[in-house]
């Protein structure tokens, strides 16, 4: 189903009414939680005080950009044009890159002075060994986008000795500026309506919903949006749907709009479809016209489109720019990383090799350490102070009762540590200072994180908090955890849960709205939004790092759902 919500959620309950309600809740929740990530960024470049390598004139600089892989390899991403006779060039060439929040995107830049004899050669054909090297700089893309001005100034470094010995010389500065592409920020809102839908249910009208998919050259259309289900309605008018231009490619890209009759079994009946681009839908709206739905039928070996009496109308079509995740970052919002580590006895004695907390003398990281590193190394770039609350739970300190929320640093007064390394150090230190105990409770650490988030909110802070819980077992306080999560959903907080070891984490998926229903307390309060992501670590152990990225990828959308929840999506540039 691509980016759409799960059909299972909609079809899980028995009975059409309940299933439709559950399906609609899932759709609404999914749409509210979906935000903007994977934005396109346009990088532009300039430099100052470059080395002057020419005798009779100034240097003729060109900039080459590389992306650095996890293994350290460099892949050339772009080359600028050559700027003649300048030590302070502003290059015209721009580089477009997809911002991936969930990854550390390292960029390396090398500046060269292009020899006069090569000035008439296409830059792509230039051999770098024939040019004069001016300097090198590197950064992470998130370092650029978190700057208020979205500009980062880097020192260009030059080493006389290619063997990397000696101190590098500072040979000017490189300025990297980032702007988010308009298509990433442009949102289309549509209110769609159908008339005279065909009857599919035996004794009642249909229960229709729309599925909008992006048509691709090869393969099945990719779903991008889905409406709620309307009960017993042959002339439905759905809630507004929102599409970004980036999602569909362009306003001229063809879309398939399919109208289905909802069935709780999950096998929905196709009532008809329309193939239109956003531009064509806008035209329908302007003209006040409808478009007849069609069905594809097979006659022998041929496919024919049967035009139906049913019609699709666009009652509203508006286009606006919206504030994106990157806009909030540029506006000074930060993400503050928090971590809570499971110290219950089910992990095993940390001195034994089969323990989940085993500290390998060779330096190989255990699952807890690896998770902290993988998540923390991404999130650290979004906090200027890099002071991170770090807790443990389920352990007994020396001569004390079991604590379900203790400071990893051993302090009575504060829970923060310095940087990711501070978390790692506090973690290993704690292992030697507490006894693993139990049971496994999430409620206290969630409430503590919520307390900090609430305090920040009360003080008018611009921080959004991300709590990482790493655990080896199923929680004992299921209902208390749900209640804590529902209460926290009104606060600037997201929670990532990673399950380590071989336990059955099926129950954990209840907390993750992507895999379950919206959380609801026994008193009927419903989570304002989805704030939990869960993955089992064993998926990572197979070597697929992208699982951690999947864990992190939803954070921008959760952040945005918090910012927008007061009025759903509110254009505010």
Partner 1 sequence: MDKVHKASRTLEITILSAENLSLNRKSIKKNVYVIARVDPTNFGSTTAGFEGGSNPSWNEKLALDMSFQTRFITLEVKCKTSSGDRVVGTASLPLSDILGDYTPESCLHFLSYRLRDSRGEKNGIINVSARVKVPVESMSPAVTENPVRSGCSSSWKQPALGVPVGHQKSYYGGGVARGVPIWS
Binding site for partner 1 (CB under 8 A): 17-18, 21, 24-25, 28, 228, 230-233, 236-237, 239, 389, 391, 395, 397-398, 400-407, 410-416, 433-434, 441, 443-444, 447-448, 450-452, 454-455, 457-461, 477, 480, 487, 490, 520, 523-528, 562-563, 565-567
Nearest residue (CB) to partner 1, 109 versus 511: 511
CA 526 – CA 347 distance, rounded (Å): 33
Nearest residue (CB) to partner 1, 233 versus 291: 233
**Cβ 32 to partner 1 shortest distance, Å:** 10
CA 84 – CA 525 distance, rounded (Å): 66
Nearest residue (CB) to partner 1, 149 versus 567: 567
**Cβ 188 to partner 1 shortest distance, Å:** 19
Contacts of 300 (CB under 8 A, 6+ apart): none
What is the pairing mode between strands 269-277 and 254-261? antiparallel
**Cβ 417 to partner 1 shortest distance, Å:** 11
Helix axes 478-488, 443-458, angle to 10 degrees: 10
Nearest residue (CB) to partner 1, 116 versus 232: 232
CA 453 – CA 243 distance, rounded (Å): 31
User: Is there a contact between 535 and 529 (Cβ–Cβ < 8 Å)?
Assistant: no
Nearest residue (CB) to partner 1, 364 versus 414: 414
Name all contacts of 405-408 with Cβ < 8 Å and 24+ positions apart: 405/340, 405/444, 405/445, 405/448, 406/430, 406/434, 408/339, 408/341
Residue holding tokens 């004992």? 476
What is the pairing mode between strands 406-407 and 106-113? unpaired
**Cβ 157 to partner 1 shortest distance, Å:** 40
**Cβ 163 to partner 1 shortest distance, Å:** 46
**Cβ 540 to partner 1 shortest distance, Å:** 28
Nearest residue (CB) to partner 1, 389 versus 473: 389
CA 336 – CA 380 distance, rounded (Å): 8
Q: Which residues pair with 532 in a beta bridge?
A: 495
**Cβ 37 to partner 1 shortest distance, Å:** 21
Nearest residue (CB) to partner 1, 54 versus 477: 477
Nearest residue (CB) to partner 1, 17 versus 331: 17
**Cβ 221 to partner 1 shortest distance, Å:** 26
Residue among 169, 132, 133, 139 at smallest CA distance from 154: 139
Q: Which two tokens stand for residue 304?
A: 């024919």
CA 504 – CA 110 distance, rounded (Å): 50
Residue 293: Cβ-neighbour burial (10 angstroms; 0-12, 13-18, 19+) = buried
């Amino acid at each position: 189903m691509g980016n759409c919500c799960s059909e299972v959620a909609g079809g899980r309950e028995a009975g059409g009414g309940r299933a439709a309600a559950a399906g609609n809740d899932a759709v609404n929740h999914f749409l509210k939680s979906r935000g903007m990530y994977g934005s396109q960024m346009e990088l532009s470049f300039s430099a100052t005080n470059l080395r002057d390598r020419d005798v009779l004139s100034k240097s003729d600089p060109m900039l080459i950009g590389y992306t650095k892989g996890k293994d350290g390899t460099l892949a050339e991403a772009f080359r600028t044009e050559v700027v003649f006779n300048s030590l302070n060039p502003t290059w015209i060439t721009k580089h477009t890159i997809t911002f991936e929040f969930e990854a550390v995107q390292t960029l390396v830049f090398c500046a060269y002075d292009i020899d006069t004899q090569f000035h008439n050669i296409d830059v792509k054909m230039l051999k770098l060994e024939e040019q004069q090297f001016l300097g090198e700089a590197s950064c992470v893309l998130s370092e650029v986008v978190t700057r208020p001005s979205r500009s980062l100034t880097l020192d260009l470094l030059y080493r006389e000795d290619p063997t990397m010995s000696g101190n590098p010389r500072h040979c000017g500065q490189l300025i990297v500026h980032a702007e988010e592409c308009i298509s990433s920020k442009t949102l289309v809102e549509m209110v769609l309506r159908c008339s005279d839908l065909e009857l599919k249910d035996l004794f009642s009208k249909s229960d229709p919903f729309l599925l909008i998919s992006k048509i691709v050259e090869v393969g099945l259309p990719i779903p991008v949006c889905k409406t709620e289900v309307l009960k017993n309605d042959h002339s439905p008018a759905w809630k507004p749907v929102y599409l970004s231009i980036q999602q569909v490619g362009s306003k001229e890209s063809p879309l398939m709009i399919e109208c289905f009759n909802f069935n709780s079994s999950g096998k929905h009946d196709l009532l008809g479809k329309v193939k239109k681009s956003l531009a064509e839908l806008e035209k329908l709206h302007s003209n006040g016209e409808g478009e007849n739905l069609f069905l594809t039928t097979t006659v022998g070996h041929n496919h024919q489109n049967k035009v139906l009496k049913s019609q699709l109308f666009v009652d509203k079509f508006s286009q606006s720019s919206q504030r994106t995740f990157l806009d909030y970052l540029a506006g000074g919002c930060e993400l503050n990383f928090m971590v809570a580590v499971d110290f219950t006895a089910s992990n095993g004695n940390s001195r034994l090799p089969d323990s989940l907390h085993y500290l390998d003398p060779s330096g190989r990281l255990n699952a807890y350490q690896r998770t902290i590193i993988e998540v923390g190394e991404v999130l650290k770039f979004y906090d200027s102070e890099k002071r991170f609350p770090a807790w443990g739970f389920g352990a007994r300190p020396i001569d004390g009762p079991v604590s379900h929320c203790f400071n990893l640093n051993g302090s009575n007064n504060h829970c923060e540590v310095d940087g990711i390394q501070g978390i790692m150090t506090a973690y290993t230190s704690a292992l030697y200072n507490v006894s693993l105990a139990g049971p496994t409770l999430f409620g206290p650490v969630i409430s503590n994180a919520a307390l900090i988030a609430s305090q920040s909110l009360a003080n008018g802070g611009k921080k959004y908090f991300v709590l990482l819980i790493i655990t080896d077992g199923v929680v004992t306080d299921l209902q208390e955890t749900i209640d804590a999560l529902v209460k926290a959903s009104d606060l600037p907080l997201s929670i990532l849960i990673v399950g380590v070891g071989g336990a059955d984490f099926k129950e954990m998926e209840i907390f993750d709205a992507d895999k379950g229903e919206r959380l609801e307390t026994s008193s009927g309060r419903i989570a304002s939004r989805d704030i939990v992501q869960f993955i089992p670590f064993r998926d990572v152990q197979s070597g697929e790092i992208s699982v951690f990225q999947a864990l992190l990828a939803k954070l921008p959308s959760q952040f945005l759902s918090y910012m927008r929840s007061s009025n759903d999506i509110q254009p505010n540039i």
